[in-house]
Amino acid sequence: MTATLDAPLLVPGTVPGSGPESGAGRPPKRPAGPGRGIRTRLLHVLRQPTLVLSIAVLLLVTLWALAPTWFTAWDPIEGVARDRLQPPSATHLFGTDNLGRDLFARVVHGSATSLAATTVAVIVGLTVGSFFGLLAGFLRGIVDDAIMRFMDVLLAIPSLLLSLALITALGFGTLNVAIAVGLASVASFSRVMRAEVLQVATAVYVEAARVSGVRWYTILRRHVLPNASGPVVALAALEFGVMVLAISSLSFLGFGAPPPTPEWGSLVSGGRDYLAVAWWLTTLPGLVIVAVVLSANRISRALERNGGTR
């Protein structure tokens, strides 16, 4: 009598199915809960020093905007004549301007105006652009062609020139500048949203929902929009830095808040006539703008690498 080659080799004193290959006696693996997922993401962020620094910069500037008196006790409007054009020191961290006003206080208080305008611009661009991109990608056909040709026309116009044209129509002021910058970015959001919607709309689960008789607006709300929003959020983070630069540029040209209201672009503009004797009037506010723009770009790259909010 011959034994088959496929028969398992049994060791005396053991029970079938209790060997090391069966996994018996091992503690069951616990599923990763939400707390463990948050810790994993936090550790992943902490391993990237530039990302941590970028988040810290944006948090600091946000605190400047929300609670400026925590960081400076100087008045951003009233100055002391005898302290005019003093260089950076322990008393005046960023020095003083030609009217004796503390420059650090003006930068801190001006962050509220600049960040509020940038937030409005991002919301306008994200909302309007995503709406048109969603319609174009979901309805397709003649609607898609009409919307995308209009977006191509907007993309053909330089964003700063388009913003200036819109400001001419809307009028001067920080709010109008924010709306104009936001409308100038509609085409970028629209194209990204359309591309994501076209990809998601052909997925198996979306087709299954259509065959099951689910209404189109339910499919749009439950399936298409949540799964297509990740790259658009990453683009919004990138556009935040671009819009900070655009709004500061328009404020530098005199289209923003009227003086003496502090605003980052107007602070850089106000120090142009004193570059030879007071370099800090333009350099230090300019470095703040550069730090915010670079931080937003770094966070945008991290969101894009991780698939946005998916």
Over residues 211-242, the pLDDT tens digits come to 777 787 777 777 777 777 878 888 888 889 88
**Beta-carbon neighbour count of residue 167 at 10 Å?**
20
pLDDT, the chain, mean: 82
Give the pLDDT confidence of 74-99 residue by residue, as tens digits.
Answer: 988 888 888 888 999 988 899 898 88
Six-digit token string for 12? 């005396």
Domains of the chain: 103-305 (1.10.3720.10)
User: Residue type for 251, please?
Assistant: S
Is pLDDT of 69 > 70? yes
Six-digit token string for 179? 């709306």
User: Rounded distance, CA 154 to CA 26, Å?
Assistant: 63
Q: What pLDDT, on the 0 to 100 scale, is given for residue 38?
A: 65
Closest by Cα among 200, 190, 199 to 221 = 200
Give the H/E segment covering residue 139.
helix 103-139
User: Rounded distance, CA 244 to CA 253, Å?
Assistant: 14
Q: What pLDDT, on the 0 to 100 scale, is given for residue 140?
A: 82
Interhelix angle 186-201/230-252, rounded to 10 degrees, is 180
Question: What's CA 7's distance to the chain center, in Å?
Answer: 62
